[in-house]
Amino acid sequence: MKAIVSHLAYSKIPTINVEAMCRDWGIGKEKLFELLNALKEVGLVNIVQKSLIERPYSKGGKIFFFDPTLYSVLEGEIGNFREAFVVFALKDRGRLLVQKDEPKGDFLFDDISLEIGGENKKKKDSQ
């Protein structure tokens, strides 16, 4: 669990990479999928997929603490807090996906591209 909490709190971009997560956490794919599903079901994490037809835990999806305030408590990455807050606020209000074309933004919400920036974040392609 320490590795999972560390990944969520301190990764610059908390994306799902099955091979790396299995290696870093010392578990197999089946166990990883069970663990991610359990964390989601008990309300510890939100997982945002890249598309609705992919497997739920495919590479490139993003994973965040369900409660964005945990990033502050753990002194985690502020960018993760920002994105987790947007996910928390929008996930049940429409279709929220990770933007496939990363230079265009972070998320797609009902086909609207969203870029979640901070004071040092560079402007992305607006097309």
pLDDT tens digits for 37-50? 999 999 999 999 98
Tell me whether residue 121 is in a domain.
Answer: no
| CATH number of the domain where residue 52 is located | 1.10.10
The type of residue at 18 is: V
Examine residue 59 and state whether it is found in any structural domain, yes or no.
yes
Query: What does pTM read for this prediction?
Result: 0.84
Residues of the domain holding 105: 2-114
Determine the Cα–Cα distance for residues 22 and 28; give it in Å rounded to an integer.
6
Q: Decide if 40 is inside a domain.
A: yes
Residue 14 near residue 80 (C-beta atoms within 8 A): yes
Strands (DSSP E) found in 11-57 = 45-48
Strand 62-65, strand 107-109: pairing? unpaired
DSSP state of 124: P
pLDDT value at position 85? 97
